[in-house]
A and B are shown apart, each in its own frame.
Chain A
Amino acid sequence: MLVSALGFAILGVAASAAAVDDTRTLGVERIVALIEASSDGETIQIPAGTYVGNLVIERSVVLEGRGEVVIDGGGEGTVVTILAPGVTLRGLHVRGSGAGVDREPAGIRAEVGPSIIEDNVLEDVLFGIDLRMASDSIVRRNRIVGMPLEAGRRGDGIRLWWSHDCVVSDNWLRGVRDLVLWYSERLTIERNDVADSRYGLHFMYSHETNVADNRLHQNSVGIYLMYSRRITLRGNSLRQNRGPSGYGAGLKDCDDILLEDNLFVANRVGVYLDNSPSSVDAVGRIANNQFVYNKVGMLVTPNTRRNVITENGFVENEEQVTVHGRGELSGNAFHELTEAGPRGNYWSDYPGFDLDGDGLGDLAYEPRYLFEDLLAREPNLRLFVHSPAQRAIEFTARALPELRPAPKFVDPDPLMSPPASRRVGPGPDRGNLGQVALGLALLGVSTAIGLGALRAAAPGTEVC
């Protein structure tokens, strides 16, 4: 009796659990039905649950998921497609797009603007958020994690295609291909955090854009600007972007670029200038940036001119500023005349002095490194960096001035102290308890060996 009652109870629990599951795993048709039952501009609170299928939105509605709604494409095609203007997607969890590159399946694709896509989580999707001719849209506070594929075969985390006047801010991207902007103008790109991807930010023919306060780290390239005009990069932090051709920021054939107050730390190359500016009437301005611990602070192609590079801090880059191949950089200004007098850049390897105390070195900064010069001509010799032979060559060149190469550029007014970074706060500080323990352990090993030897049996009593 008791047993059968228990059996019924268990069956009952199982049945109710199954019922809950049934209500939770639904087809996206439920959402489509909700949309069709609503009027334009209405806000729809989608009931919590997992909805499987490909959702196509053809009416201007606001869809709210409150973090409780999962839309799962089931590994087929694009998960959510927006075909109506004025759609808002908020608080959804989107996953399971197709993986075939030919159709470019995405988590969320907007074919028309304006649309607002915010506070969503996207994972296991080939492309993340894809705006196609969806101007005036807003993409913010989304978390996007790409498929675990080789970097070149992934899709873009966020892509804007011919979508002007959009805002892309506060998004968090990991393991995607690029955050890429094609043919899109007058954008605002702020406070995004992109890591473990190919290009943190990638501009193709996209003009007049503000890029501020983004954090781009451990990508192959932080920011790559290509064929774009009038772009302002300000307050961005670019760390450890060190792919084989990795740059903090690369500028290819870009006109009127303003780079200010950015931080370039431990990239393979801090800033790469490839024929930028390219038009004769355009200029480039690189001011108040910090270049710290990069392999190369700034790498410039020989034909590049008309850049003003001033009040930057070049601190302990293995090569501070160098030419890609042979040539020199005299077409660019490494100082500027301001109301307060001339201002150059800070160079941590500046050997000069400041007798008159005006904060400017009394001698021009003229980098003449023989080994760097050799590297430009014989790239294979890079194998020998970090070795004492490199130091020996530099020493010889200092001792024998006729061996010194001509300087590639001159900064006539070098700053004596690094300009204060105005925008970027301190980097992540890891706890150091383990590090202290490591130090103590090493000292312990040392002491143990020493004590073990001295404590050894008194002379004359060792037996073997």
Chain B
Amino acid sequence: MIELAIHRPGLEAPRAMTPALASSFTCVLAFARRELREALTSRWFVLYGLAFAALSVSVSYVSLASAGSEGLAGFGRTAAGLLNLIMLVVPLMALTAGAGSLAGERERGTLIYLVAQPVSRWEVLLGKFLGLAAAFVACLCGGFGLSALVLASRGAVGIDSFVMLVAATSLLALVMLALGFVISVFSRKSSVATGVALFTWLFLVLLSDLGLMAGSVLFKLRVQELFALSVLNPLQAFKLGVVQGLESSLDVLGPVGVYASQTWGERLPWLLFGVLCAWGMLAFAVAAFGFSRSSTA
């Protein structure tokens, strides 16, 4: 299981800053590569990849098939279908994968070997994160690539929109992965971690939106309050960003969308990007803090 034989001259004899940083970087990279290799050869990840590819291809295909023979297929319609799929599947994959990573190793007793290496814990964590992140980007690119080929057969890909969708989805996957790591760091058993991840998924995907809807109706929330509250949810921020990218404004989302477009204007994409990045970095920082203090067994 442990395939690393770590020899680290930087720790034995203190050196200048730059070589130490470089050595730290190669360490992170070694961990990342190990994590990536394990992910790509593990059954669950291959399953995720195949499932995502099959779902996105079939969504693309179905949305084209219903267009009939008139060449009416527009990417907007397909994107709406893909968007729903992404919001359901990608957080589920990333949260459970992140939740399983550390908790699984801890349960199998391999985590102790990892942290016994002459590396700091954040290097371990960052390495694992980057490895899984790369695995996810590969998985998403595979699924999207196949969908693009299906869509291209009917000339229905807006290239800019598609690239935007892939980039936004990758960012969403990273954020959800980081949240998964937080769960993983604080869970003793991988079954618990998976359970918490599933509940988090349910909350982010459904419960928070449903709660906001109920709150909006019950408390007569004003548009700015509703916008502020909803954009706190990284999934909503992702959705708003994609809609903004596809439609170049949020007018299609009713009064709240009009408010957002008019208030934030050109800065809206940056706001949404910032919300996603903040979630990701905050989650990773919490995970790193927790991991540095947690026990390994």
Q: A residues near B, CB below 8 A?
A: 242, 244, 265-266, 268, 290, 292-293, 295, 315-316, 318, 348, 374-375, 378-389, 391-393, 418, 421, 424, 426-432, 434-436, 438-447, 449-450, 452-454, 456, 459-464
Whether B27 lies near A315 (C-beta < 8 A) is: no
17 extra interchain contacts, Cβ-Cβ under 8 A, other than A383-B253, A439-B146, A449-B137? A268-B251, A316-B77, A378-B217, A380-B223, A386-B84, A387-B87, A388-B88, A426-B71, A438-B148, A438-B159, A439-B157, A443-B141, A449-B138, A453-B37, A453-B40, A453-B135, A460-B5
Whether B213 lies near A381 (C-beta < 8 A) is: yes
Q: B residues near A, CB below 8 A?
A: 3-8, 23, 26-27, 29-30, 33-34, 36-37, 40-41, 63, 66-72, 74, 76-77, 80, 83-84, 87-88, 119, 134-135, 137-139, 141-142, 144-149, 151-157, 159, 162-163, 166, 205-206, 209-210, 212-213, 216-217, 221, 223, 226-227, 230, 235-236, 239, 243, 247, 251-258
Give the distance to chain B from A403, nearest Cβ to Cβ, in Å: 14
Whether A460 lies near B257 (C-beta < 8 A) is: no
A379-B254, A446-B139, A454-B37 known; A384-B209 Cβ under 8 A: yes
Q: Which residues of A contact B251 (CB under 8 A)?
A: 242, 244, 268
Q: Which residues of A contact B34 (CB under 8 A)?
A: 462
Q: In the bound complex, what is the Cα–Cα distance between A113 and B119 (angstroms)? A: 90
The residue of chain A having its C-beta at the shortest distance from the C-beta of B137 within the complex is A449
Whether A454 lies near B40 (C-beta < 8 A) is: yes
Q: Which residues of A contact B147 (CB under 8 A)?
A: 439
- Residue in contact with B80 in the complex, picked from A386, A393, A435, A440, CB distance below 8 Å: A386
Interface centre among A392, A427, A450 (most CB of B within 10 A): A450
Q: Which residues of B contact A463 (CB under 8 A)?
A: 5-7, 26, 30
Whether B256 lies near A382 (C-beta < 8 A) is: yes
Whether B257 lies near A382 (C-beta < 8 A) is: yes
Q: In the bound complex, what is the Cα–Cα distance between A431 and B156 (angstroms)? A: 10
- Residue in contact with B152 in the complex, picked from A292, A426, A435, CB distance below 8 Å: A435
A-B contact count (CB 8 A): 210
Whether A388 lies near B206 (C-beta < 8 A) is: yes
Q: Which residues of B contact A434 (CB under 8 A)?
A: 159
15 sampled A-B residue pairs with Cβ under 8 A: A379-B254, A380-B256, A382-B256, A388-B206, A389-B206, A391-B84, A392-B210, A427-B71, A435-B151, A438-B152, A443-B141, A443-B142, A445-B137, A460-B5, A464-B23
Give the distance to chain A from B105, nearest Cβ to Cβ, in Å: 17
Whether A430 lies near B33 (C-beta < 8 A) is: no
The residue of chain B having its C-beta at the shortest distance from the C-beta of A427 within the complex is B71
For the complex of A and B, the 6 pairs showing the least CB-CB separation, nearest first, are A382-B254, A442-B145, A439-B148, A389-B209, A435-B152, A443-B145
